[in-house]
Amino acid sequence: MKAIGILFTVLSLWIGLCPATDSTNSTNSTTQCTTKQEAILVFLQDGSGSIWPQDFNKSKAFAVNITQHFQIGRNNVQVGCVQFSDVVEVEFTPVTYDDANSITSAIMNMVQLKQGTKTGKALNATIPILQQAAASRPGVPIFLLVTTDGASQDDVREPAENLRNTTNAIVYCIGVGTEANQTELNLIAGNKSRVFTVGSFDGLKDIQNTVMKQMCSEVPVQNNSPPAVSKDSTPAVSKDSTPAVSNKGNDNCECPVCKKVPKQKTFFACYDMCGEQNKCPPDQKCCFDGQYNRCFTGKEKVCLGGEVKPANANAKASG
């Protein structure tokens, strides 16, 4: 019997992961998303006890299908996931994984929390995650996709307004089944055009392409070309910022003598061109570590352009 149960679960996951058969919509949404490079997407998944295990699997498969429309990466689209019932579980944040396979595995391995439904509590718990994401990638659009099957047992109006106002997140809300409260869904999203309802979890695959097409239309096209800098110019420095830090290969960085620093997910990423755009915390500097521009306290040692060079190399070269 145990083997039969496992086989049923595997089959239900496989079926849920199959994309919708509307080839026209699927092609359009995929094309739109892959050409628009930068976004942060966090799923807020209802894992309450009113959802059958097989339906929870369909909800997870829906989230995976959404992520597969994006180009995943530290400098492209980052994905996080939070599950809630009457408690909240942060499954992973947008900086946890840099590849689609890891995200898929993490979503599909979520263990359903069950118990009650406190959507307001979940929205409040998601705010710091979105704020951290916004601080790490200023100017990058942030999406929150909420999926729930019923009315919340706590207030959602104030938490939803607070979340949107403090994070500037674009909130989409999907209500599943007859118990989903339309008024509540509208309050969470803050915009009726971003609210979708389906009769059952089987219906998620039917709205997948519609949701994706609308989300993609709200992701601005990024210009990945570096800004033009004349040979005689140096990056601008704002009055309140640390000296400007330029992109890969340049050494205008106020960090100690260079030494290779291992990649760590706890560091915030920062723009290739810092100065006025530098959004690192006040006590940190934006430096290139050999692979990424990251925020450092100034006590670490970094490797600029992949080569070991003294921190004052640029000053000597320009002197």
On the question of pLDDT at 297 being above 50, the answer is yes
Q: How far apart are CA 155 and CA 32, in angstroms?
A: 36
Which among 35, 26, 28 is positioned nearest to 65, based on CA atoms?
26
pLDDT at 238 over 70: no
Q: What is the mean pLDDT of the chain?
A: 72
Q: Higher-confidence residue: 33 or 25?
A: 33
Q: Please, are residues 244 and 273 in contact by the beta-carbon 8 Å criterion?
A: yes
Q: Where in the chain is the domain with CATH 3.40.50.410?
A: 9-17+29-217
CA-wise closest residue to 147 among 36, 66, 30, 27: 66
Whole-model pTM: value is: 0.62
Say whether domain 9-17+29-217 belongs to CATH 3.40.50.410: yes
